[in-house]
Amino acid sequence: MKAIMLMFDSLNRHMLPPYGCDWVHAPNFKRLAEKTVTLDRAFVGSMPCMPARRELHTGRYNFLHRSWGPIEPFDDSMPEILKKNGVWSHLASDHYHYWEEGGCNYHTRYKTWEISRGQEGDPWIADMDKSIPNTNPHRKGEWNFQDSINRKYMQAEDQFPQAKTTAMGIEFMRRNAKHDKWFLQVETFDPHEPYFTPERFKKLYDYDFSKFQNDWPEYVPAKDPKLTKHYQMTNAALISMCDHHLGRILDEMDRLNLWKDTMLIINTDHGFLLGEHDWWGKCRMPFYNEIAQTPLFIWDPRTGVKGQRRQSLVQTIDLPATILEYFGIELPKDMQGKPLRETIASDKPVRKAGLFGLHGAHVNCTDGHYVYMRSPATRDNQPLSEYTLMPTHMRHTFEVEELHKIECLQEPFSFTKGCRTMKITGGRPWVEENQLKTMLFDIDKDPGQKNPINDPECEEKMIKLLVKCMKENDSPKEQFIRLGLEKYN
């Protein structure tokens, strides 16, 4: 048995033909839907990049206890479990957050790994020539300057990180097609912003891309309709590039006759707002379905089901459970995700409800039909603490001043295997407090989430589901206080 996961970053389901988009050029995603099961109610868990990847390893929510950070010493890591059970796990990626302090030990969980450099502001090429043109003049600073440097060294299409990453994955497939018991994760940062693409993908669209020297949206309210249109078109061009490289993987599956014994998962960590709800970006605003509801395609050679759709509620935490079950490996007791074999075969549900969110923001709950966004009830969004043995933000360890706020060693949570963690108080949310309002949506009747509903009976039902899921995750007690749910705990 073999398995391949092709993972994109910030891939919007509403920009893909299998999910109803009729203008983005993505024929290989159409082809993919014909060869797999398309899951219509797939939701994120923890946001954004590394919290989502922690879920891909551990199969449990991250965001109630901690923000961005590495794998913890007590975490169960799916690729590491595979490695220990004789399944070769390999990562080929250009997702540069893996090589920063905040993601520094994810890649080492695989038996082997390889990287391609240069995405976004990845500190890659050392070129001190200050005359290098700024590719996004609306953005300033060293991070943007590094992105401009990196692009100077990506003139040919095969120099782009995604092209290199896909080539690495294909090389692994060719080298190991005759062997058994391996898991390949091909993971690209695209179509995450900035939307840098070769010209041939822009030529697929009847649009003048030179209108703006800008392909890097900021996470701010969308106030310029023309710029919104521009971001949508540049994103579409990058999705077409992703579609091309997806086609390369599918072609190789065909050529090597891998469909007979190889699971294929195509997924992403989250979506992105391109003007919907009057926002660009993610993290600073409520997690509307454009962000929270993701594309997911799975081929399981054991069932042979393809070209069908499934309506059961599934989440990111289910993917590591699905992969371990596929290889016949017992799931760790702390893994909350559920294998999706029967969901793929017959749409058998694996859960009644699920949580999703960002540390210090809304705690969201969905049953697949309603989405409930519970906002903080306290004015200062406190109490909020980080529980960790690896106090690391995105690119650096916690500041000394933050570590002064270590209140105590927290008694073990149910999943920390007897380890006490630091309790670091006064957590720093990414969101603005005035954006956090409690809202309830009927996403069957209002899939665009344009009209919050006032239904006390339904809200009470969703609160009980939310609290149940929080308790199952052994949520810190202060989260119930922060959300005004003390009476339910």
CA 44 to chain centre: 7
pTM for this prediction = 0.97
Letter for the amino acid at 173?
A: M
Sequence spans of domains, the chain: 2-351, 355-488
The pLDDT value recorded for residue 380 is 87
- Long-range contacts of the stretch 469-477 (C-beta < 8 A, 24+): 469/353, 469/354, 469/355, 469/365, 470/64, 470/355, 470/363, 472/336, 473/60, 473/61, 473/64, 473/336, 473/355, 474/413, 474/414, 474/415, 475/64, 475/65, 476/64, 476/65, 476/385, 476/387
Q: Report pLDDT digits (tens) over 249-302.
A: 999 999 999 999 999 999 999 999 999 999 999 999 999 999 999 999 999 999
pLDDT given at position 433: 64
Beta strands in 87-231 (DSSP E): 88-93, 112-115, 182-187
Identity at 432, one-letter amino acid code = E
Give the angle subtended at the CA of 284 by the CAs of 439 and 384, to the nearest 5°: 80
Phi-psi region of 329 (alpha: psi -120 to 50; beta: other; left: phi over 0): beta
Amino acid identity for residue 216 in this structure: W
Strand partners for 267: 7
Residues shown for the chain: 489
The answer to whether 13 and 266 have CB atoms below 8 angstroms apart is no
Give the pLDDT of residue 379. Answer: 81
Helical pair 318-326 and 49-58, crossing angle rounded to 10 deg:
30
Architecture, CATH, for domain 2-351:
3-Layer(aba) Sandwich (3.40)
Helix (H) / strand (E) element for 308: namely: strand 308-310
- Is 303 buried (19+), middle (13-18) or exposed (0-12) by CB count in 10 A? middle
Predicted pLDDT of residue 429: 73
Ramachandran bin of 11, using left for φ above 0, alpha for ψ from -120 to 50, beta for the remaining angles: beta
Cα gap 390→70, rounded to integer Å: 7
Residue 196: which of 165, 157, 222, 167 has the closest Cα? 157
Collect the ranges in the chain with pLDDT lower than 70.
428, 433-434
Q: Fill in the amino acid letter for 472.
A: E
